[in-house]
Structure 1
Amino acid sequence: MPDYADLGLQLAWPLAIALSWMAGELIFRWTALPRIAVYGLAGFVFGNLAAGYLPPSESKNFMLLANLGFGLILFELGYRINLRWLRHNPWIVATSLLEAVLTFAAVYLVAGACGMDMLPAALTASLAMSSSPAGLLRVLNEQGAAGQVTERAMHLTALNCVMAVFTFNVVVGIGVFQTSGDLAHAAGSSLLVLGASSVLGALFGALVPLWLRMINAARDATLAFALAVVLLVAVTYVLQFSPVLAALTFGLVARHRRIALSPAQRNFGVLGDLLAVLMFFFVATRVEVEHLGGGIALGLLLVLVRGLVKVGVCTAFARVSGISAKKGALSGLALTPMAVFAILLMEQTRWIGVDLFDSLAPLAAVMLLLDVLGPVLTQRAVVWANETRHIKEA
């Protein structure tokens, strides 16, 4: 006779993910709200109602799948970055640098003034520098967005990711050193890991296009790139490198090796869509209600400070970088998502024995809010910039 309690445990997650996808499709059709916002909200609710339904061993498998989905998105973002444009318009790089530095400083000062310790405040500030490629790119592709705001948001997000990963790992390295006094361990958890990850991604970016040319398959490169991203993320996962920098560098180098992906291959088709549902759902389950206690007011304040800095700097640098002040402000607004990027980065620190969730309650509140609100604001930014096209749903 079947054990119905055990069957419930085994079926809870697949059923919840399927229902999350169905809810996302229905709400998108009824309200045009981004699907990923629904996936995130469903994941948070399920994760707190059924926290015991996922054993630790299965949690690691889900985290690997989430990183695979994130890796595909990071590869696509890196692939869509045009280095020549950045060289011809250095004001975009200047905008990103100033916006990231001021975001770090503002969030750090506000968090410190509200009573956070120095290390958690610095970690919160470093994550606040970032914008989530997952939230941004999925919304842009869902809306069929193209134009100045779209391109600028993608380039700023890529630059923000690199600076945020660098700063976050430096801060974590300092924390590890303060705790253990082991300088080698601290260095190994920060700068050396970033360098090795970038080199590994660049190596894939050079070798995969070379392989495609050898077999004359450059016109149908989607499967090859998808398999390469899966392998790259798995390698970085096992070696405890940074999948973020590795996948981003892979896409960047592959683009400049003259291998073209057609628009139909955005999101990597069904594979990318499936992993995206799982990723946004699973990542949201990592934010527990207990993490929110006492941190909601500060979290809301940090969201406001972060948003004002990003919109303000992008607006201030808009005209010198070649766009109107309105489009500059909308570019800053499009950078709102950060939840998936922040949570996956925090999860990676558990590989080196550093658990940050309990010490960053205000950031948990920020991530919960931006998991839902962030994609909506990105969608509104490209809609208000008139850079979307109507996509007829099947």
Structure 2
Amino acid sequence: MLEDVLSPARSAWEDLQERLHFLPPFPDELDSLALFSMLLIVGLLIGEWLRARLGWPKVVGYVLAGTLFGPSVLGWISIEALAQARPIADAALGLLMLEIGRRLDLRWLAQQRELLRAALAEISLSFAAVFLFAWGVVGLIPAWAAAAAAVTMAAAPAVVLLIVEESGAQGQVTERTIMHTALSAAASFVVFAVVVGVVHAEYSDDWLSCVVHPLWVVAGALIVAWPMVLLALLAASRLPKRSLAQIFVLVATALLAVGTARTLAVPVFLTLFLMGAILSFSDRERTLSYTALPEGHWLLAIILFVVVGASLPWQDFTWLIGLQALGLLLVRAAAKVAALVWSGGGLGSERRLLVGIGIQPLSATAVFMAYEIAGLYPEIGRSSLSLPLFAAAIMELVGPALCRFALVRAGETVATAGGERGVA
């Protein structure tokens, strides 16, 4: 049908080309970069429309645009275009992971025993619940059940930060949500490294891969992150605090870390998270502690979530896997909420419940982790990790709304801070 519409234009162009030889041949398809750029604009408009008309988080619109125009549905975003956009998506995720890593104040956490106990309970129960569901109910072998648990046990740092920023949220529930997100992300990265070795042990006779690959994931990320922190602090210490030049140094070193991690085949999300955590811990002179990333970096999130939406394998969807993914999410949600409600942590039970709701999002980090693990043995891994991938696909749409609901209900967003009272 599209060819019938374009046929007159093609004929007219070819007639004109006979006289104007400098004209290129009639394009069979639009340049992938131009097409992807148009779809980013569409994603932005969908996100803004959903926000203005329905009150939905804008990130939902970005994901919907990527899903609709991606290879699994309309196919307007090709696999090649996704590959071209991946470095930008990595940069966007990297900057968001850097920010969540900077929120991880280890010295403060050491003094907050109740919060640390609540976080450990939430992390442990989430992993155990997902693992038992994937192994005992779905029937995955222990290696892939552990991989599914590693991918889905943590909240989505990128989504949580974007919802907090979009809502202008501030308060105890907001801070606890961010802190639990950072801690669960850190724990999931440790489990991720271990699971890499477990998967090698299951399918490879080479013991060296089982031992060295997990070490490379962690050590490689540290090897990249630590020098970048030293470089950022060294350069920033010679500049005025909170200046544009310091912001430039922070962003430039973060992007350098992204590029280096990609070159060394080290997970970008782990590298930038470690960079943020190390920066938070080692910046004793407060050189960059009060230097915020520019607001423009949030615009990269449009690219990130369009790419994530387009990467979801909806062509492999079945009702069985959909029900299994829904079951995993229910088990995961129950584990997180129960752990926080029962473990205390200095907040009232109703506010702890809201924190449990706020840490439900599952998104870009989970999708990228799943593809990292599945890529070890592609012929097996893609189908074995379809469960967490479809769980992430569902939570791409539901998770942001749950997080925003928790912050609004707590009365900590800009819209509710001076108006409706939240949970007391």
Q: When the two structures are superposed, what TM-score results if normalisation uses the length of structure 1?
A: 0.91
Q: Residue 37 of structure 2 aligns with which residue?
A: 14
Q: Could you list the runs of 5+ residues in structure 2 that have no partner in the other structure? A: 1-12, 14-24, 417-424
> Which SS does the other structure have where 1:131 is aligned?
coil
CA 1:200–1:36 in structure 2 vs 1: closer, same or farther (change >3 Å)?
Answer: same
Amino acid aligned to 2:360: T
Q: Residue 273 of structure 2 aligns with which residue?
A: 248
Matches of 2:326 and 2:382, distance apart in 1: 17
User: Do structure 1's residue 157 and structure 2's residue 184 form an aligned pair?
Assistant: no
Matches of 1:94 and 1:203, distance apart in 2: 32
Matches of 1:144 and 1:52, distance apart in 2: 35
Q: Residue 94 of structure 1 aligns with which residue?
A: 117
Deviation, structure 1 residue 18: 1.0
Matches of 1:90 and 1:350, distance apart in 2: 37
Deviation, structure 1 residue 225: 0.8
Q: Residue 323 of structure 2 aligns with which residue?
A: 297
User: Do structure 1's residue 233 and structure 2's residue 258 form an aligned pair?
Assistant: yes
Q: Is the 8 A contact 2:155 2:181 kept in 1?
A: yes
Q: Is the 8 A contact 1:202 1:246 kept in 2?
A: no
Residues 219-267 of structure 1: CA deviation (Å, up to 9, x unaligned):
332221111111101111110112222212222232341134658x45x
Q: Is the 8 A contact 2:138 2:324 kept in 1?
A: no
Q: Is the 8 A contact 1:62 1:282 kept in 2?
A: yes
Q: Is the 8 A contact 1:298 1:362 kept in 2?
A: yes
Q: Residue 146 of structure 1 aligns with which residue?
A: 170
Q: Residue 40 of structure 1 aligns with which residue?
A: 63
> Which SS does the other structure have where 2:169 is aligned?
coil
Q: Is the 8 A contact 1:166 1:191 kept in 2?
A: no
Q: When the two structures are superposed, what TM-score results if normalisation uses the length of structure 2?
A: 0.85
More off after superposition, 1-10 vs 161-170 = 1-10
Q: Residue 295 of structure 2 aligns with which residue?
A: 269
Q: Residue 347 of structure 1 aligns with which residue?
A: 371
Q: 1:70-89 maps to which residues of 2 (within 5 A)?
A: 70-89=93-112
Q: Residue 210 of structure 1 aligns with which residue?
A: 234
Residues 335-369 of structure 1: CA deviation (Å, up to 9, x unaligned):
11112111111233466454633222222321111
Q: Is the 8 A contact 1:197 1:242 kept in 2?
A: yes
Q: Could you list the runs of 5+ residues in structure 1 that have no partner in the other structure? A: none
Matches of 1:115 and 1:28, distance apart in 2: 36
Q: Residue 335 of structure 1 aligns with which residue?
A: 359
Matches of 2:115 and 2:271, distance apart in 1: 23
Amino acid aligned to 2:250: F
Matches of 1:51 and 1:170, distance apart in 2: 36
Matches of 2:374 and 2:86, distance apart in 1: 12
Q: Residue 167 of structure 1 aligns with which residue?
A: 191
Q: RMSD value over aligned CA atoms?
A: 2.2
> Which SS does the other structure have where 1:379 is aligned?
helix
> Which SS does the other structure have where 2:218 is aligned?
helix
Runs (4+) of structure 1 exceeding 4 A deviation are: 260-263, 350-355
Matches of 1:35 and 1:85, distance apart in 2: 33
- Equivalent of residue 191 in structure 1, options 192, 206, 215: 215
Matches of 2:212 and 2:62, distance apart in 1: 35
> Which SS does the other structure have where 2:187 is aligned?
helix
CA 1:251–1:168 in structure 2 vs 1: closer, same or farther (change >3 Å)?
Answer: closer
Deviation, structure 1 residue 133: 0.5
Q: Is the 8 A contact 2:220 2:266 kept in 1?
A: yes
Q: Residue 367 of structure 1 aligns with which residue?
A: 392
Q: Residue 340 of structure 2 aligns with which residue?
A: 314
Q: Residue 152 of structure 2 aligns with which residue?
A: 128
Deviation, structure 1 residue 53: 4.2
Aligned residues: 385
Matches of 2:89 and 2:306, distance apart in 1: 9
For the pair shown, the structure with the greater C-alpha radius of gyration is 2
- Equivalent of residue 408 in structure 2, options 361, 376, 383: 383
Deviation, structure 1 residue 55: 4.4
Matches of 1:59 and 1:228, distance apart in 2: 25
More off after superposition, 190-199 vs 326-335 = 190-199
Q: Residue 259 of structure 1 aligns with which residue?
A: 287
State the identity %: 24
Matches of 1:29 and 1:83, distance apart in 2: 39
Deviation, structure 1 residue 14: 1.9
Q: Residue 110 of structure 1 aligns with which residue?
A: 133
Deviation, structure 1 residue 93: 2.1
CA 1:208–1:303 in structure 2 vs 1: closer, same or farther (change >3 Å)?
Answer: same
